[in-house]
Amino acid sequence: MVGWFEVPVTNMDRAIAFYEQVFKIKIERHKMGPLDMGWFPYADQDAPGSGGSLVAHPDHYRPSTDGSLLYFSSHTGDLQDELDRVESAGGKILNGKTPISEEHGFMALLLDTEGNRIALHSRA
């Protein structure tokens, strides 16, 4: 049901460096006046999942540890791979790899460099 997501950031360079290092991806930056966006890779609009972006704007976006929780899927299938890169990228692990259930796999909670609480998910 999610069609698009936006992760608020205050320092786009720092946020891009964090997400690129943790997820081993390339983020595409787009500046549109006062709106600064860093688009996550999204290959196929017809595939399951959602596209999204890092977003900085002085009036409309503020990082938060409250509210909605965004789960990022592990590209390797084991979220420990991404979790192992969180602290060296400047983030903080709030809750390490934790089993959800045999059926649903594992999750972890972390803070990104901007102060957003986000989660990781994998089956293994």
Domains located in the chain, CATH noted: 4-122 (3.10.180.10)
Rounded distance between C-alpha atoms, residue 120 and residue 92, angstroms: 13
Q: What is the DSSP letter of 11?
A: -
pTM for this predicted structure: 0.92
With b for 16 or more beta-carbon neighbours within 10 A and e for fewer, the 29-41 pattern comes to eeeeeeebbbebe
How many Å apart are CA 83 and CA 90, to the nearest integer? Answer: 12
Bridging pattern class, strands 70-73 and 117-122: parallel
In the block, residue with structure tokens 């929780």: 69
pLDDT (tens digit per residue) in 38-95: 999 987 655 556 889 999 998 999 999 999 999 999 989 999 999 999 999 999 999 9
**28-44: pLDDT as tens digits:** 999 999 999 999 998 76
pLDDT tens-digit map of 2-27: 889 999 999 999 999 999 999 999 99
